[in-house]
Amino acid sequence: MTAGVTVFAVVRPTPRASDGNIPFLFDYGSYAARGFGFALGVNYALMYTPINHGGVVSLVSPCAHCQHTEGIVVVVKIKFVAGAGGTGTQLVSSFNGNTSEGNIILSGTHVVDSFSSNEIRTDSDSIGGHLNIGCQSNSGEAGG
17-38: per-residue pLDDT in tens?
666 677 888 888 777 788 888 9
- The answer to whether residue 131 sits within a structural domain is no
pLDDT in tens, 96-114: 777 777 788 888 888 876 5
- Is 83 a member of any domain? yes
Give the pLDDT band of residue 143 (cuts 50, 70, 90): very low
Domain that holds residue 95: 2-8+17-117
143 domain residue, yes or no: no
- What is the reported pTM? 0.78
Please check whether residue 32 lies inside any domain of the structure. yes
pLDDT digits (tens, 9 = 90+) for 46-64: 999 888 888 899 999 888 8
142 part of a folded domain: no
Instruction: Tally the domains of the chain.
Output: 1
Domain presence at residue 46? yes
Inside any domain, residue 126:
no
Assess if residue 130 is contained within a domain: no
Best CA proximity match to 78, nearest among 104, 109, 103, 45: 109
The backbone region for 19, taken as left when phi is positive above 0, alpha when psi lies in -120 to 50, beta otherwise, is: alpha
